[in-house]
C-alpha cells in the first residue's frame, strides 16, 4: 500500500508539470475575452476583432484644413470725371481791362478828346500741345463799331474780320495760338452813343499762348458816357467817369 501511494503521488505530479509556454485552457462555455493572454491585451497591434480580422489601430489625425484662397474681386470702374477746371492756368485773364478815359470833361459835346490807346499782352500758362476752351464774360461801356469779313456771334462779338469805319473806336482781343482776332464792340451801325454790353463767349487758346488786348479811337476822339451808365458789380474809377472800358472775367477753362 505504501508503494502504491508513492506511485500515485508521482503520477499526479508528473501530470501537472507546466510546459515552457502553455496556453491556459479556456473553460467550457466562456467567451474568447476570458481566455485572452496578457501578451494579447498589452499589444494593440495584434488585437483582433470577434471575426478574427485585424482590429483598426489608432485613428490617424486628419490633416489641418487649409482655408480656401480668397477670390480676387475686380474693382468697379470709377466713373469718368468731368473735365477738371484749369482756370488757375489763365488767371491773368480774370478782370483784365481795356480803359479809354476822356482827357477832359465833354461839357455840352457828345464826344471827348482822347489819345489813349490800349496795347497790353497777357501770357497764359498750360501745356502748349493742348488747346484749352476758355469761357469769358465780357462787360463794359462802349461806342458802336461795324466790322466786316468775320463771323458775328451774338449781339456784340465779331470773330475775325476787321474794322469797317476809320473814325470809331475798336476793342480787340487777339490770340496768338490758335491765331484769331475777337472784336468785342460789334454793332449793326455806328452812331453818337455809348451802350452797356454784357455777354459770354468761349475762345480757344493753346497753353503758353499770348493774348493781346488793344483799343484805339482812331481819330483822337470818342463818344462820351454823358449818361453816366454803370455796370453792376464793376467799380468805375473816377478817370473813367465819361470814358469807355471793357472788363473780362474768367468763368472757366477746360482741356
pTM beyond cutoff 0.75: no
Calculate Rg over the CA atoms of the chain.
56
Query: Which run of H or of E encompasses 38?
Result: helix 38-42
pLDDT tens, residue order, the chain (255 aa): 444 444 443 444 444 444 444 444 444 444 444 444 444 444 444 444 544 555 555 555 555 565 555 555 545 554 544 456 777 888 889 999 999 999 999 999 999 999 889 999 999 999 999 999 999 999 999 999 999 999 999 999 999 999 999 999 999 999 999 999 999 999 999 999 999 999 999 999 999 999 999 999 999 999 999 999 999 999 888 999 999 999 999 999 998
Beta strands in the chain (DSSP E): 96-100, 111-113, 117-123, 131-142, 147-153, 157-163, 170-176, 179-183, 195-206, 210-216, 221-223, 244-254
Residue range 210-249, pLDDT digits in tens: 999 999 999 999 999 999 999 999 988 899 999 999 999 9
HSE of 107 in the Cβ direction (CA atoms, 13 Å)? 4
In tens, the pLDDT along 208-219 reads 999 999 999 999
Amino acid at each position: 500500500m505504501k508503494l502504491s501511494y508513492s506511485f500515485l503521488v508521482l503520477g499526479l505530479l508528473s501530470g501537472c508539470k507546466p510546459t515552457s509556454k502553455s496556453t491556459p485552457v479556456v473553460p467550457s462555455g466562456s467567451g474568447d475575452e476570458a481566455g485572452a493572454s496578457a501578451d494579447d491585451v498589452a499589444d494593440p497591434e495584434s488585437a483582433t476583432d470577434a471575426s478574427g480580422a485585424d482590429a483598426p489601430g489608432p485613428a490617424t489625425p486628419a490633416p489641418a484644413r487649409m482655408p480656401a484662397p480668397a477670390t480676387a474681386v475686380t474693382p468697379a470702374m470709377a466713373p469718368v470725371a468731368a473735365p477738371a477746371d484749369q482756370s488757375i492756368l489763365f488767371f491773368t485773364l480774370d478782370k483784365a481791362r481795356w480803359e479809354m478815359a476822356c482827357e477832359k470833361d465833354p461839357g455840352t459835346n457828345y464826344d471827348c478828346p482822347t489819345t489813349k490807346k490800349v496795347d497790353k499782352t497777357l501770357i497764359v500758362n498750360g501745356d502748349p500741345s493742348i488747346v484749352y476752351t476758355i469761357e469769358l464774360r465780357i462787360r463794359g461801356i462802349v461806342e458802336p463799331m461795324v466790322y466786316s469779313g468775320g463771323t458775328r456771334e451774338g449781339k456784340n462779338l465779331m470773330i475775325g474780320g476787321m474794322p469797317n469805319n476809320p473814325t470809331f473806336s475798336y476793342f480787340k482781343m487777339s490770340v496768338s495760338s490758335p491765331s484769331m482776332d475777337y472784336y468785342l464792340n460789334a454793332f449793326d451801325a455806328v452812331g453818337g452813343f455809348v451802350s452797356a454790353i454784357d455777354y459770354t463767349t468761349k475762345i480757344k487758346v493753346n497753353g503758353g499762348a499770348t493774348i493781346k488786348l488793344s483799343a484805339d479811337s482812331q481819330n483822337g476822339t470818342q463818344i462820351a458816357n454823358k449818361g453816366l451808365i454803370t455796370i453792376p458789380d464793376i467799380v468805375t474809377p473816377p478817370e473813367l467817369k465819361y470814358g469807355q472800358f471793357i472788363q473780362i472775367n474768367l468763368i472757366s477753362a477746360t482741356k
